[in-house]
Amino acid sequence: MSVPAAIGVARLARFRADGLAAFDATPKGLLNAFAPWFAFALVGFVVVLVAGNPRTALGDLLATVVALLTPAVLSHLLVRRWDREGAWMRYAVAVVWCQWVMPPALFASVLVIGLLVAIGLPEDGAVLIGMLALLAYALALNFFVARHALGLSRLRTTALVAIVNLGTGGLVTLPTLVQIGLIATGPTPLDQMEQVMRAAPT
């Protein structure tokens, strides 16, 4: 992550709109934002594949690619309809970079859960509160970035956040559903590859 991008992420994480100016709102900037996530996905794919689980490796890779690309595609379709296409690139770059906010946010939610359990709250209740707080923060950040980057009304921003997140969630589950369908119909080439890899001498 470049220094300007890191500054932009830090500012947006605190709901400061001036963080948007730190990003390179160009096609190259968007590719740079995607690059680390695709690199992680490919490394994970190779590791799981070498471990002898081609079905899982392919499913995880597809899910990651869909999760990365779907928000950009869906949001572009919406902003083009709303005549805000000129502001889309800055929004898309900011959204991808802001994914780096979530690991620290998840860590913070784990700390909160631990604190709640320590003061006597049941573990299930503490986990629920922590996860709901994390979800609320993620949605609020999405709303903030969309509203300020695209200049949309509150209603349209809400619609964009809902459509992008629900659409992405639905498509991310598709590879899993496909795998379930393949399992139900019997062995596939991936199954045969997995059996060969497991049977190979180590």
Domain count, the chain: 1
For residue 182, pLDDT over 60 is answered with no
CA–CA distance from 145 to each of 12, 57, 81, 141 (Å)?
7, 32, 19, 6
Type and span of the H or E element at 92: helix 88-97
Domain that holds residue 45: 3-199
pTM of structure? 0.78
CA–CA distance from 40 to each of 57, 64, 101, 190 (Å)?
13, 10, 16, 22
Type and span of the H or E element at 86: none
Q: Average pLDDT, whole number, for the chain?
A: 84
CB proximity list for 159: less than 8 A, separation 6 or greater: 78
Q: Which residue has the tokens 């597809």?
A: 62
The lowest-confidence range among 5-9, 14-18, 24-28, 182-186 is 182-186
For residue 191, pLDDT over 60 is answered with no
User: Which of 87, 71, 66 shows the shortest CA–CA distance to 20?
Assistant: 87
For residue 37, pLDDT over 50 is answered with yes
Mean pLDDT of 64-91: 90
Mean pLDDT of 149-176: 87
User: Which of 112, 138, 136, 137 shows the shortest CA–CA distance to 126?
Assistant: 112
- Assign 197 a pLDDT band (cuts: 50, 70, 90): very low
Instruction: Quickly list DSSP for 175-189.
Output: HHHHHHHHHHH---H
Mean pLDDT of 54-67: 81
* Cα maximum dimension of the chain: 61
Q: What is the pLDDT of residues 5-23, one digit of tens each?
A: 888 899 999 999 999 998 9
Q: What is the pLDDT of residues 98-131, one digit of tens each?
A: 989 988 999 999 998 899 889 888 888 889 998 9
- Assign 196 a pLDDT band (cuts: 50, 70, 90): very low
Axis crossing angle, helix 54-81 with helix 88-97, rounded to the nearest 10: 150
Give the pLDDT of residue 97. 92
Composition of the chain by helix, strand, coil, percent to 5: 85, 0, 15
